[in-house]
Each structure stands twice: as C-alpha cells, then as structure tokens.
Structure 1
Amino acid sequence: MAGAKLRFGAFIAPFHPIDENPTLALHRDMELVEWLDKLGYEEAWIGEHHSGAYELIASPELFIAAAAERTKHIKLGTGVSSLPYHHPLMLADRINQLDHMTRGRVMFGVGPGALVSDAFMMGIPASKQRDRMDEALDVLVQLLNGETVTYKCEWFELAEARLQMTPYSRPSVEIAVASQVSPTGARAAGKHGASLLSLGATSTAAFNALASNWAIAEEQAKTYGKTMDRSGWRLVGPMHIAETKEQAYKDVRYGLEKWAYYFSEIANLPVIPAGDGDPIDRMVESGMAVIGTPDDAAARIEQLMEQSGGFGAFLFMAHNWADFAATKKSYELFARHVAPRFQGLNENRVASIDWVKRNKAEFTGQMQAAVGARIVQHMVEKGTDNIRPELVEMITGQAPKAE
C-alpha cells in the first residue's frame, strides 16, 4: 500500500523586475497558477506587499478569487496576509467568504509583514509588528472558529464580533503561520496548533533551524493543550530544473541578477553567498537553491526530509529566474519526474511490471500453447493450405510437404 503523499506547490510572492509591464506580469502569475493546476500541483500561496516594486500583489484575496474561477483542484492560500495591516474582523470575514466561494480550497497563511517599508507607510513601528501579529492571530482563530469575541488593544477593538456565516471548512479554514530563522512563527503556530510555513527553508540558517523550529512548535503546542501535525508543515525554497545542469544554468542567467538585486538592495536580505566565481555555483554549493536536473531536485527533497524529520509539502519559491517558457518547463519536469518519487504514484506500476517479468516464462508458455491449440484446430478442419509454413513447423516439428 502506498505511504503518505508529499504535496507540492508554489509560493508566489511574486518577484517581477521593474523593466517589464506590471499588468502582463500579474496575468503571467495567474497563468502560472493555472499551469500548476493542470500539472497536478496541490497548492499555490499568494503574497501581500505594498512597496518595493517587485512584489506586485497587494491583495492575495482578490487574486485567489480570480484564480479559483480558472482552476479546478489546486488549493489557494494567502502567502501571507500581514496581520498588523488589517482589522481582524474584516480579514476574517474576507477569508471566510473565500472559503465558501472556493468550496474549501482556500488556506490562510499569516505573518507580521516582511517589508518594513510597508509598515512604515501605515505608521506601524517595526518593533511592534510581531506583537500585533500575535494579538490579531489570537482573535482571528476564535472568529474563524465561529466564536463571538470582545477584545480591545491599542490598535483594534472588537465588541461582540462574530462572522455572519458558519465556516465552510470545519472546524475552520486551515491557518498556517510563516516562520524563518527566529522562533516567532513556530511559537505562534504551536500556541494555536496551526500549520507551519517555513520560508527560505533551503538557506543555510533556515535549513539548520528546521528541526529545532519544529521542536519549539511542538513544545509550545503541548503548553497550550494543542497538537502539531507534520502534514501541515510546508517548506519553501527556490529551484529551477532542466534536462541537463548546463541548460538549467543557462536558463537562470535570464533573471537571476535582477532577483538578487532586489533582495540585496531593496529588501536588505542578501541571498547569494559572498565569494569569487560564478554566483550560480555559490548558490548551488551552499545549498541555498537547486539549479540542475530532476535528480538534483529529488536529492534535495530527500535531504530536507531527513533534516526536518518529516513534513507535508514542499513549495517552490517562485522567482522568475528563467523566462516564462523555461519556468513552465521546470515545473513540468518536476511534476513528471520528481513528484512521483515522493507520492507513491508508480509503486503499483513497479510491482506490476516486476510480477510480469518474474512470471514471463510461464506466461510465454501459456500464450504459445493457446496459439498452438488454435492452429491445430484449424489444421484439422481446413488443412495447411493457408497456414504460414513456420507455424506448421512450430506445431508439428516438420516442414509442410510441397504440393
């Protein structure tokens, strides 16, 4: 019997350089989600950002509503909703509405907000973003569970607040808390028994923190009488694959430099390890990214499974390193040649072909006997005039006599 099925998807911030048409970029993001749905990917997470120019999606809820109408199976998550930017009742009501509109295909990813520039424009001190996330999450969980909440703090107030509609998903929509190297997200996930969304899981620091962050979440969950489910743990990391490593390297030179510029100069988070030589080599050798073949991608997934102790889904960090055709090809190669290894899709096929090979001699003998019996029957009834000579010889052991 097949084992647990690892899920795959994409975490779409997205990242679009400022030298291209933003309208077309947004439509390309939508096309990517449609492509993922056709390929059988299970999840797509859509980001929320308001400054910095690269990460264009301001409302993941709007994007998800449109994507849900264009897809059939894939689940769609906010990746993530920045809780300090929203009144909790308004956000809960929008997510609950999406839960109904998508018939349970929406997921609710939450975080404090990644860009300080976003918070600055709203007058939110960076030092308070994580505290405000915790405050908002406490009441969001209650609201999405159908409870009535009265609460007051320095930045929002709820007076007998409740959602009008019972959640479509029971007990509520799935909530996932973003986590990087610090324990903030793991602690919040554990407190509420929520899923954990580990961003940048393939960077050296985040990779080394995987097991410890999960342990923190489990410890916190125990304190609050909750349990953590590894199937809800998502790891996020960048990959680009092609038929050969050389082709993969060639593909990513299209947009890697612009992507790295955004992180180092705008988001203030250098992503390419310092050093000499090819920056692609440095990324690959550090383990920060997979740029290579399907076998390279599979090896990295196996490494992550071992390091983490087990998780439920791996999400590509959508990066636009390659042009769109090569990007789509990368996702296709992964779906065809990597995902089946971790989803047990070919276990029965392997068992079937092995069984046939083991019994080949017996099956061949039965086939020859069945065919031979029909030839003999025909020879008895009609003679050998219209029987191929080699078939007569196979049955009688003698060549047919010439007339």
Structure 2
Amino acid sequence: MPVQPYLPTRFGVFLAPYHRPDRDPALQLRRDLDLVAALDRLGYEEVWVGEHHSAGYEIIASPEVFLAAAAERTGRIRLGTGVNSLPYHQPLILADRICQLDQQSRGRAMLGAGPGQLPSDAFMMGVDPLRSREMMSDSLDAIVRLLRGETVTAATDWFALEEARLQLGPYRGGELEVAVASAVSPTGAVLAGRHGVGMLSLAAADPAGFAALDTNWAAYERSCAEAGRTADRSGWRLVTPVHLAETREQALREAEFGAADLVAYIETLGGTRLDGCDTAAGAVERWTTEGLPTFGRAVIGSPEDAVEGIAQLAARSGGFGTFLILQLDIAEPAATLRSLELFAERVVPRLTGATDARRASLEWAGRNSERFVSAVRRSTLEAIARKGEVR
C-alpha cells in the first residue's frame, strides 16, 4: 500500500505584512504587534515577518526590530524573519543581529533566507535581480557557517569576511533554525538541502507552486543526499492565504473588505488589469478559484474548508511539518481575529488529532448508554427499597 502523507502538526502565521497605504502606518504596525500577541495566546507555534523597502504596502523594513518588540509582548511563540533578503546585507552583520534577537527572545528566533521579492527594492540598492539568487547562495554559505560557530574567511565580488566569527551565538548553544524561501523553481530547495536547513514554500497557494510541490521536495531530497544528509519533512513549511467564518457564505462576504484593495496593489505593480475583478465580489471569486498573482488561491470559507485545503496540500506534497497562514487584510480586524480563533479552535485539533480521544470517549459512552442508565436505575431502585438507609 502507498504511504499516506502525514498532515502538519505545527501552525503559524506569515506576516509580510500587506497594508493599504492610505492608513496610518504607526497604527498598522501597532495592530500587527497586537496580532502577534493574540497568536501567542491562541497557541500558534510561530510567526514569520517579512523585509521590504518599497511599494508602500509591505511596511516592515527590519523584521528583527519588529520581532524584538513582539518578543516583549509574548512568551512562547517562535519568531522568524520571513524572509531576510540576503543580497541586501553583509552576512556577518545579519547573522549577528539574528543571534541578538535569539538572545533577547530566549531562543525563539529563526532566520528565513531569500533573494528579495520586490524588483524595486533591488533597483534602489543597485542590486542586479538577475544575480540575486547567486548572491543569496554566497551569503547563506557564510551565514550558516557563522551560526554553527565557525570562523569564516571568504571573499566574493560583493562582500568579504576575514576571520569572521560571532561574539554572540544562539541562545541555546546549538544551531539556530534556518529556512530558505522556495517558490516554483527548485533553486531554493537545492540550496536548503545543500545546507541541511528547512524549506519555506511561499508559493504553495499559487497553481504553479502547488503543482511543483512534489518536484521541489524531490530536488530537496536529492540535494540533501548529495550533501550526506537525510531530508526531513518536519522542517518543511507551506504558506497559504486563509480567512474563515462560521459559514462559507459569511467568509466570502467578509473577504470583500480587502480583496479589491489587494487586486489594486497587484495591478499597480504589474501594470495590467486582472480579468473578473471589477467588483469586490468578483475579486473574491477569482481569488478562490483561478487565484491572484502573488497571492495564489485563498482558502475562504468554513473551518471544514480549511481542513480540506490543508489535506490537499499534504496529498500533493507528500506531507509537511508546518502550515502557515498568509495573513492579509482580507477582512475587518475583528473578523480577522475571529478567523484566527476559528482556525485554532476547530482546524488545528482536527489535523493534529487533539480531540480524537474526547470524541472516542463520547462515542463509547453513547454505545453503552443503555447499560450505564440501567445500572443507575437499578442502584436507585435498590436505594428506595432500602428506604434510604446508608450502609
């Protein structure tokens, strides 16, 4: 019999964030910090925060600064940079900052590594987008070694290290967890496997990214094997937009709040119009069927719809360790919080089996109810016959 793919056992949120540019940024950032505190309270295992420098929507320039503030508002949730754009940083300085965050958060920091998403960011820094993956590889080679406590001497045409070492290592004394961004091409998967680090599939919701999940994992396995390592699915994270409500119809209505704005963002960056998105309802319809560029297909519906969607990801990929909600301004803040509560209350237990024993206990009690009720009835009748005497 074929091996059944296992479902994720950890859950978190990927927060770019995307915020419309006609609102107060200080309030938006404060709301994001409140959101991380809520995630911690609801039991989410991790949150990842992005790095961007242009285009007005993704307004966190330094995920480390944001996550340091989040660390002071939380107690257990792990804090990942999702992702640091490696071509924009000197490797020693970035590794040093991540270790400081790990010390300040008492071992909760994670490093997400990527080449940089927005061409406008690279343009302003004079980074050739055609070289960004090569530069990411150069940088990651050095960063992984530094985080493992090595002394590194290396030179490229864009950075140099001379007997570089970290004065602060990871908080727990071992290796700090690293994950490499992977989309449709196998580049990220190959790089992650070479270094024995995790893989962060940001395009899992995109039809092309979804179709490439199994081939990307195969590339990761081959790369791990070539480096003498065993691939571990528990280190694989998949990202998908999700908004839930009590019913699918309610969730679709709530999503009209933010869908049109995200379409406007995509159209502005791409310089083109998206078919079928002239109305908010039309934008939601396209988002949940054909999908939107950048954001892929969203799961907008009931908790049962989310369980089904994650099961489909597991079947396509063969199994993965962590599911991350791509958190967007899909709905009003109150509805967004309720969506996250529904996911934690009703989706996570279904996938992890946390409520299986309770359901089994209830079913067992139901199957034996006649026997139990009869015993209580006999006990009552005997007590009456004894005229309430206590023995």
Which TM-score applies when normalising by structure 2?
0.92
Q: Distance in 1 between matches of 2:283 and 2:382?
A: 70
Unpaired stretches in structure 1, ≥5 consecutive residues: 382-403
Q: Distance in 1 between matches of 2:271 and 2:10?
A: 28
Is residue 81 from structure 1 mapped to residue 84 from structure 2 by the alignment?
A: yes
Q: Distance in 1 between matches of 2:159 and 2:222?
A: 30
- Within 5 A, what are the aligned runs for 1:155-174? 155-169=158-172, 171-174=174-177
Which residue among 18, 21, 35 is the counterpart of 2:21? 18
CA contact (8 A) 2:314 2:320 kept: yes
Corresponding residue of 1:322: 331
CA contact (8 A) 1:5 1:344 kept: no
CA contact (8 A) 1:10 1:315 kept: yes
CA contact (8 A) 1:260 1:270 kept: no
Count residues with an aligned counterpart.
Answer: 378
- Within 5 A, what are the aligned runs for 1:38-187? 38-169=41-172, 171-187=174-190
Corresponding residue of 1:289: 298
CA contact (8 A) 1:272 1:283 kept: no
Corresponding residue of 2:3: none
CA 1:375 to 1:273, structure 2 compared with 1: closer, same or farther past 3 Å? Answer: farther
Residue deviations 1:27-82 (CA, integer Å, cap 9, x gap): 11111111111111111100000111100001100111111111122111000011
Letter in 1 for 2:113: V
Residue 257 of structure 2 aligns to a residue whose secondary structure is coil
Letter in 2 for 1:317: L
Letter in 1 for 2:289: E
CA 1:348 to 1:5, structure 2 compared with 1: closer, same or farther past 3 Å? Answer: farther
Letter in 2 for 1:281: E
CA 1:205 to 1:234, structure 2 compared with 1: closer, same or farther past 3 Å? Answer: same
Deviation at 1:275, TM superposition (A): 8.2
Deviation at 1:373, TM superposition (A): 3.4
For the pair shown, the structure with the greater C-alpha radius of gyration is 1
- Decide which moves more: 302-311 or 331-340: 331-340
Q: Distance in 1 between matches of 2:303 and 2:284?
A: 17
Unpaired stretches in structure 2, ≥5 consecutive residues: 1-5, 292-296
Q: Distance in 2 between matches of 1:333 and 1:26?
A: 24
CA 1:270 to 1:46, structure 2 compared with 1: closer, same or farther past 3 Å? Answer: farther
Deviation at 1:359, TM superposition (A): 2.3
Q: Distance in 2 between matches of 1:255 and 1:17?
A: 9
CA contact (8 A) 2:107 2:170 kept: no
Q: Distance in 1 between matches of 2:30 and 2:278?
A: 37
CA contact (8 A) 2:71 2:105 kept: yes
Corresponding residue of 2:352: 343
Is residue 331 from structure 1 mapped to residue 340 from structure 2 by the alignment?
A: yes
CA 1:319 to 1:4, structure 2 compared with 1: closer, same or farther past 3 Å? Answer: closer
CA contact (8 A) 2:14 2:239 kept: yes
Deviation at 1:284, TM superposition (A): 1.5
Deviation at 1:330, TM superposition (A): 1.1
Q: Distance in 2 between matches of 1:270 and 1:89?
A: 40
Which TM-score applies when normalising by structure 1?
0.89
Corresponding residue of 1:400: none
Corresponding residue of 1:360: 369
Q: Distance in 1 between matches of 2:286 and 2:149?
A: 49
CA contact (8 A) 1:251 1:323 kept: yes
Identity %: 50
Is residue 198 from structure 1 mapped to residue 207 from structure 2 by the alignment?
A: no
Deviation at 1:269, TM superposition (A): 9.2
Q: Distance in 2 between matches of 1:187 and 1:54?
A: 31
Residue deviations 1:81-120 (CA, integer Å, cap 9, x gap): 1111111111111111222221221111110111111111
CA contact (8 A) 1:194 1:228 kept: no
Residue 286 of structure 1 aligns to a residue whose secondary structure is coil
CA contact (8 A) 1:185 1:196 kept: yes
Deviation at 1:285, TM superposition (A): 2.1
Letter in 2 for 1:199: L
Q: Distance in 2 between matches of 1:276 and 1:21?
A: 27
Letter in 2 for 1:305: A
Letter in 2 for 1:228: A
